[in-house]
Structure 1
Amino acid sequence: MTTPLLIAGHGTADADGAEEFRRFVARVAARHDAPVAGGFIELSPPPLGEAVADLVAAGARRIAAVPLMLVAAGHAKGDIPAALARERVRHAGLSIAYGRPLGPHPTILGLLRERLAALAPHADTTVLLVGRGSTDPDANADVARAARLLAETTPVAGVEYAFVSLAAPGVPAALERCRRLGARRIAVLPYFLFTGVLPRRVAAQSRAWAAEAGVPVEVAEVIGDCDGLAELVLERWAEATRGDARANCDACLYRVALPGHEHRLGAPQLPHHHPDEPGHQHHHHHAHGH
């Protein structure tokens, strides 16, 4: 039997964003010849545990889980593996193969170019790619890498990057940097899968800065629920089921003592407590082993 697919989302306080994730799970399910379930690690229903329980109830003994995330930050490296370790304890005999985050895959870059093209950019447009932002240097470097790959493959004046939370430069500071570098017009490209609190904040901050600075700024749509994204998730599913999903551990702050982050070396990973989970679960410690 084809291995069932578990899609692990972050969760959002934004009802539209959560609904977009659920629609996307249905889109992937229509393309997969085994059950597909999706759940969130925090903030919105259904919790990941409920999605696993649904697959087990449908007869799953082995599941391939794909973290629906653009960067490998704490969630993909720690929270989700810890949550999956907890599910293995809950469901005796269940095995779970864990896939890679999406990353700056050519499919993702292609979708970003599509969202950018909808703004009809000129050759003198400067693009600002805005990621979520993390306390993990490796995850923030992934956003910079995506920006550079876009710059290499898109006929624009240049691609800068920014973060909407937890890391600098923030959106206004990065827009100001673009202006100082001589940007005539700026296209803000949110590096987000679905709408939510943070993508809305990116748009609001961009428009507020543009009104004050007098530089034309347009904001592109998020990647969104689409066929290209569904195909990539199934590619990550195939990797996981074959057992050849490899994580990039070269600059992982749980494995390498990065300056300023030494206290995180070898830290045990704990799952989030999801508010929709029944009762308070005791945390199962999961040694970091992505």
Structure 2
Amino acid sequence: MKTGIILLSHGSRLPEAQITLRQIKEQIIQSGNYELVEGASLQFNQPDLPTVLCAMARCGMQRVVVVPIFIYQGMHMKRDIPAVLAAEQSRYPEMEIVLAKNIGADRKLAEIIMDRIQEVS
């Protein structure tokens, strides 16, 4: 099954904020076995989520996993992203669109935070 990955960031009014998303995308491409990995922003930056889903459909992806790079289970995760995905799923019924869990309070994130603390200690 042709599987695409969308790394979904919140987005920022500062264009250079997209550099981090591109870096994460390259790391996923290097370590994964996915046909297509793209970044998208929920707000402010392009490409946005509908644009990348359209590109995934044009590339023949049968399954798309949307990975939200969000820590909190806030309104975007509970309302906004599911609403966008529901609307887009109706446009691409041949493509399964799956929303992964947000990052949340993961032990790996705590380890990164501890690393950052150690860097300045």
TM-score scaled by length of structure 1: 0.40
Structure showing greater Rg: 1
- In structure 2, the partner of 1:104 is 105
- In structure 1, the partner of 2:92 is 91
Q: Given residue 109 of structure 1, which amino acid in structure 2 is its aligned partner?
A: A
Equivalent positions of 1:118-267 (< 5 A) are 118-120=119-121
- Render the CA deviation track for 1:89-134: whole Å, top value 9, x for unaligned: 22232211211100110110000001111111xxxxxxxxxxxxxx
Counterparts of 2:57 and 2:108, CA distance in 1: 31
SS of alignment partner, residue 39 of structure 1: strand
* Residue 26 of structure 1, CA deviation: 2.1
Q: Which has the higher strand share?
A: 2
Counterparts of 1:109 and 1:2, CA distance in 2: 33
Q: Given residue 93 of structure 2, which amino acid in structure 1 is its aligned partner?
A: A
- Render the CA deviation track for 1:194-252: whole Å, top value 9, x for unaligned: xxxxxxxxxxxxxxxxxxxxxxxxxxxxxxxxxxxxxxxxxxxxxxxxxxxxxxxxxxx
Counterparts of 2:79 and 2:22, CA distance in 1: 23
In the alignment of these two chains, the number of paired residues is 120
Counterparts of 2:59 and 2:32, CA distance in 1: 15
* Residue 43 of structure 1, CA deviation: 0.6
Q: Given residue 9 of structure 2, which amino acid in structure 1 is its aligned partner?
A: G
Q: CA RMSD for the aligned pairs?
A: 1.4
- Render the CA deviation track for 1:246-274: whole Å, top value 9, x for unaligned: xxxxxxxxxxxxxxxxxxxxxxxxxxxxx
User: Quick one: percent identity of the two aligned structures?
Assistant: 22
* Residue 2 of structure 1, CA deviation: 5.9
Counterparts of 1:14 and 1:116, CA distance in 2: 26
- In structure 2, the partner of 1:78 is 79
Distance 1:50 1:26, change over 3 A: farther
Counterparts of 1:111 and 1:12, CA distance in 2: 22
Which 5+ residue runs of structure 2 have no aligned equivalent? none
Q: Which has the higher helix share?
A: 2
Q: Given residue 5 of structure 1, which amino acid in structure 2 is its aligned partner?
A: I
- In structure 1, the partner of 2:44 is 43
SS of alignment partner, residue 4 of structure 1: strand
Q: Given residue 43 of structure 1, which amino acid in structure 2 is its aligned partner?
A: F
* Residue 62 of structure 1, CA deviation: 1.4
Which 5+ residue runs of structure 1 have no aligned equivalent? 121-290
- In structure 2, the partner of 1:10 is 10
